[in-house]
A and B are shown apart, each in its own frame.
Chain A
């Protein structure tokens, strides 16, 4: 059998903690090989070792049958490996073409040949059906496009083995579908794809072989046909997990938030919200669906006081909240799970306790007369770590040493227990493993049962289908329409997400 990548006995320790424990993995040429596992199972670490970003403590790597010491990414790239990272590594001030050819610039008489780069980038993007404008600056492009650029970067280096770390976490269903079509075409060309994902449907739909990691060890490697989704879940989490629509009782219906005619601008000062109207009642989950970058983040930021609105009004409990500071809005009952958890949600260089304290530092029992009681904070943090299943050694760990999913749980734990009665939740399960996803969904439903008003922004339709009472679809800053959560219809939502009014579309037909 033709083996593209062979890892043997890979062990990687961070201080005393073992992130990868004697991992064996072999990936056949021309297959799509999925790696799944809970948050913190060691997936990213393993891929970083393979790509030369981390050095293993033990174990050997061979690529294309050749033993290899991957001292740096340059070595990996030279062997035909390419990696699309969980957090993108693009240079915002450069153009798409510059980013693609960074490190392998096309030059004429010693100078970088911009034109040729743009030309080649265009050819490349056409060839692989990844539509981007190579002359545009990366700053301000949507994550979907950024990912295409990352893939083009890899392709431009003639990679034959492509690693994607959670490529779909930030994509819409349509974008994901496109991506997988692309990946399929790659393997048909004889390339090899390794990808990490928390979406079991995806994994089942596209992969040929699946490896499950748990606590840094390989649980199993199987062909897809030998597995059912249920079995996979059991291997990963050790129990059954359900993703059906959650049962619910009617809420009290008391209006908590009402937004009317809200306008706002994005960072580039272009209109990002246009005449948005919506309302959320207590005991209700209102979902916002839409392709990422259609104003959802701006909506959340405006409502939480982080971004000024240009115009309009938003009443929380009947009182205007625009023009108030984030602190005041929080004091009036807002809890906010931000979409960009690394920048906004946590301070990576601070301990978990310090992260948990944010926003409640003036409250008892965390502080008394302006003095913080760190013991109480640690105690509370420990309790929250248990309740939200945050995998870390203790409250004094640095947030940055946690895996992506666990960082998200830290944010959720803090916000859900902050005592607000309006929850603004932006992408709660982005990059979170399925076990934890279920736990988070249960937690959101518990909040709903507590009569909280919840605005849930998600790009994942199955999540909205499972949780939301009503779904609003956003497109280019506008609310395109509303759909009942219980009777969600993927087709019409998909149309609205693409900016087509389903009613109008029906009329035309």
Chain B
């Protein structure tokens, strides 16, 4: 029992929220491009460049908010290049995405060298991290151990989770959201109604850049307060995977991210049981794979159920058949 308590506790939930947030932010960004029919594999790079510039910005402006803005601006610049190449110049979106990832990696390191004279990490040096938001009253109502469930995170954690319902509303009820969906689903329809496909895709790319930028800034100013080479560490790719199987629906994106975040947080806990770390580290990916397979398994044609249903229908409809001229009784 005690063992179980060290695995399943409030801390696990809090850890899940923490591990989920960056992936959720970047995946929500990707939801715009996914909905608009663009396969954006360059999320990783946008996130990385934003993480770097958020740190730079935070040092320059001396404020975390300034850092956030500059980080997002950097991601937007990448998103703009992406859109110009993919939308206007019809470049292959996968090639451009991967190349931008490479570019982000090279650029952050070169700039780090040029600006800080080191490679590796930028720590301290006047970086101002995002403040933690203590929700007033949370402690009184929930008590100290449960208060951490909802209070004490950096602002972007709240932004990430609150964005989910907002995006649901956005896709369902706003004009731009509708256009995004239409352009992704049936561009001919949009075109004949005078909706500019290029314009909508540009907007989608930029919105994607915005969220990827927030994700990057969260990595380097919120989750922790530093920049390291390649610190996005595959989270952008993970988001791509979640996006494809959620088709960009915000709720499904949230579910996918939570699943992955939970598997991640939980597997970290498993390590103290002395399993080989390499196998434990594969757990979140394996869980995501299994989830994918299980979901597809569920939607398979249910032969047995269908046959039963058919037979029931057949029997039920029998009396309405126009008389006995059909050979009716050779049914099993």
Contacts and interface: CB of A to CB of B under 8 A. Distances in A.
Interface of A: 51, 53, 72-75, 77, 83, 85, 89-94, 98-99, 102-103, 105, 107, 110-112, 114, 153, 260-261, 263, 265, 269, 271, 274-275, 277, 308, 310-311, 501
B174 interface: yes
A117 to B, nearest CB: 11
A163 to B, nearest CB: 11
28 contacts: A73-B191, A75-B194, A77-B193, A77-B194, A90-B186, A90-B189, A91-B181, A92-B185, A93-B185, A102-B182, A103-B194, A103-B195, A105-B175, A105-B178, A111-B169, A112-B173, A114-B173, A153-B193, A260-B327, A261-B327, A261-B330, A263-B310, A271-B313, A275-B314, A277-B327, A308-B301, A311-B310, A311-B311
Contacts of B178: 94, 98, 102, 105, 112
A90 B181 CA distance: 13
Is the contact region of chain A dominated by helix, strand, or loop, or is it mixed?
A: mixed
Contacts of A99: 189
B322 A53 contact: no
Interface of B: 169, 173-175, 178, 181-182, 185-186, 188-195, 301, 306-307, 310-311, 313-314, 317, 321-322, 326-328, 330-331
Contact of A311 (B322, B327, B331): B331
A110 B169 CA distance: 12
Given A73-B192, A277-B326, 9 more contacts: A53-B191, A89-B188, A92-B185, A103-B190, A107-B175, A110-B174, A263-B314, A271-B310, A311-B310
A330 to B, nearest CB: 23
A73 B193 CA distance: 6
A91 B193 CA distance: 12
A98 B194 CA distance: 15
A153 B192 CA distance: 11
A360 to B, nearest CB: 30
Main secondary structure of the interface of B (DSSP, over half): helix
Contacts of A85: 192
Contacts of B301: 308
Contacts of A94: 178, 181-182
A239 B182 CA distance: 46
Contact of A261 (B173, B174, B307, B331): B331
B50 to A, nearest CB: 28
A343 to B, nearest CB: 14
Contacts of B311: 311
B322 to A, nearest CB: 6
Contacts of B306: 265, 269, 310
Contacts of B174: 110-112
B190 to A, nearest CB: 8
Contacts of B307: 310-311
Contacts of B191: 53, 73
Contacts of B327: 260-261, 277
Nearest to A275: B326
A91 B317 CA distance: 34
Nearest to A274: B317
Given A91-B182, A263-B314, A310-B306, A73 B194 contact: yes
B186 A275 contact: no
A182 to B, nearest CB: 21
A261 B195 contact: no
Contacts of A501: 322
Contacts of A77: 193-194
A260 B169 CA distance: 51
Nearest to B318: A275
Nearest to B175: A105
Nearest to B194: A74
B181 to A, nearest CB: 7
B310 A83 contact: no
Contacts of A261: 326-328, 330-331
Nearest to B188: A89
B314 A311 contact: yes
Nearest to A102: B193
B186 A91 contact: yes
Nearest to A108: B173
A77 to B, nearest CB: 6
A105 B177 CA distance: 12
Contacts of B186: 89-92
A325 to B, nearest CB: 16
